[in-house]
Amino acid sequence: MTGPKPLMRDVPANELAPLLQRLGQPVYRARQLALWLHRAHALDWETLSDLPRDLRVRLADLYDLQGLFPGERLTAEDGTRKFLFRLRDGAAVESVIIPMENHLTFCLSSQVGCAMACRFCATARGGLARDLTAAEIQEQVVHLARDLAAQPPPGFGARGFNLVFMGMGEPLDNWEQVSAALNVFTAPDGWGLSPRRVTISTSGHREGLLQLLRLPQAVGLTLSVNAASPDLRRRLMPVSARTPLPQLLELAEKYARRIQRKVTLGYVLIGGVNDNLSEARALAALAARRPFKINLIPLNRLDDDRLSPPGADQVLAFQRVLLEAGLQAYIRVSGGQEIAAACGQLRQRRQSPTPSVAGSAPGEGDLPAKQGDLTD
């Protein structure tokens, strides 16, 4: 049995012209094809109306144009739209459109599942199934852009969108495909987005950060910290914490100086776990007087877990410690809670229609029995 055809969007831009020449076509067809792929959001060979019919047939014999198939689309009251896409092998990934004050943000997945095993994350539950290809990453943007065009949110107009790799997966663990997708997003012949509109979020993948330092495009970076003390960070982020936080912050600082923009430190606040003021002080000591700003994100509660967000007073007290240390610290509340907007949560619900209770979740055997045990 043969597998699926390669996806057309996985062919690098510089290989389109040689490919079309091999098919007996003039070089300018490459530009036409690129426009269909990246500007016209084409998903069906029939729609590529300025390409000769016999060329479309030959390309369709060789490549698939569509690798993601819309499964579910949920809309929250605050305008957040969450999508579950089926891939050609039956796997599923999520993407989200998040309305911000002045623009929209597309939150993209980079992998099916994730190997980083973060304690508070739904995506981590099933481990890593596979990497997404560059085409599958790009196609999330195609579908989201088509959805916006079909149903523009009120006042959307020409505000455009930003891209953040904060969906399922650790983007720096799939660097080859993510960087190929970044090339398309920022190339003038691709989506033509400014690198400033793209942000990579990492749990602290050291090798990936070293590669990011060599990336020509100055994309934004968020480093997910979640605990300043090494033991607690290891318990919350068992894989990423293998590299000590001070080393990761050094790399992040180097990157901030290279792109001449602050790196964001992400901190998911979990009630009774990492929200105490000694953690805040330790975080302040690590981050003060460096090119960082901090986003505090009260936990999005998961279906199969007893971890919960702190109360508002504790969130404000944590923030106050950071502000008093001279840091920029913002509280970010995740939107769309009623539509399972936590990363991987919708996929997890669809995989196990009856949410399991704490104590029966995959991997629970490795975890403390009670939430409070994480702070021991």
The residue among 34 and 107 lying less far from ligand SF4, judged by its C-beta, is 107
Does residue 343 carry a catalytic annotation?
yes
Give residues with Cβ within 8 angstroms of 256, minimum separation 6.
221, 262, 263, 290, 291, 292
| Minimal distance, residue 316 CB to ligand SF4, in Å | 24
Cβ atoms 209, 202 nearer than 8 A:
yes
Residue range at the interface with ligand SF4 (CB under 6 A); choices 68-76, 163-171, 323-331, 345-353: 163-171
191-220 footprint of ligand SF4 as x/- string (CB under 6 A): ------------x-----------------
Which of 226, 213, 197, 289 shows the shortest CA–CA distance to 256? 213
Q: Can you tell me which of 67, 169, 309, 310 binds ligand SF4, judged by CB under 6 A?
A: 169
Kindly state the tokens that stand for 180.
């190929």
Is residue 114 within the footprint of ligand SF4 (CB under 6 A)?
A: yes
SS3 330: strand
- Chain residues 314-373 in contact with ligand SF4, contact rule CB under 6 A: 343
| Minimal distance, residue 28 CB to ligand SF4, in Å | 42
Q: Does residue 112 come out as left (phi exceeding 0), alpha (psi in the -120 to 50 range) or beta?
A: beta
Is residue 116 within the footprint of ligand SF4 (CB under 6 A)?
A: yes
Packing angle between helix 28-38 and helix 13-22, nearest 10 degrees? 130
Cβ atoms 43, 78 nearer than 8 A:
no
Q: Does residue 135 come out as left (phi exceeding 0), alpha (psi in the -120 to 50 range) or beta?
A: alpha
- Chain residues 240-269 in contact with ligand SF4, contact rule CB under 6 A: none
Cβ atoms 203, 118 nearer than 8 A:
yes
Q: Pick the catalytic residue from 107, 114, 118, 343.
A: 343
Does residue 94 carry a catalytic annotation?
yes
Residue range at the interface with ligand SF4 (CB under 6 A); choices 119-127, 138-146, 275-283, 291-299: 119-127
Q: Pick the catalytic residue from 94, 136, 139, 170.
A: 94
The residue among 43 and 273 lying less far from ligand SF4, judged by its C-beta, is 273
Which of 170, 300, 289 shows the shortest CA–CA distance to 222? 170
The residue among 118 and 280 lying less far from ligand SF4, judged by its C-beta, is 118
The DSSP-derived string for 53-120 is: HHHHHHHHHH-BS--EEEEEEEE-TTS-EEEEEEETTS-EEEEEEEE-SSSEEEE---EEE-SS--TT
4-23 footprint of ligand SF4 as x/- string (CB under 6 A): --------------------
| Minimal distance, residue 270 CB to ligand SF4, in Å | 12
Residue range at the interface with ligand SF4 (CB under 6 A); choices 162-170, 276-284, 296-304, 322-330: 162-170
Degrees to nearest 5, angle at CA 81 with 308 and 137: 95
| Minimal distance, residue 119 CB to ligand SF4, in Å | 9
| Minimal distance, residue 6 CB to ligand SF4, in Å | 26
Q: Radius of gyration over alpha carbons of the chain, in Å?
A: 21
- Residues touching ligand SF4, count (CB under 6 A): 12
- Chain residues 140-159 in contact with ligand SF4, contact rule CB under 6 A: none
Q: Alpha-carbon distance 97 to 77, whole Å? A: 13
Residue range at the interface with ligand SF4 (CB under 6 A); choices 150-158, 168-176, 278-286, 305-313: 168-176
Q: What residues act catalytically?
A: 94, 343
Binding site for ligand SF4 (CB under 6 A): 114, 116-118, 121, 123-124, 168-170, 203, 343
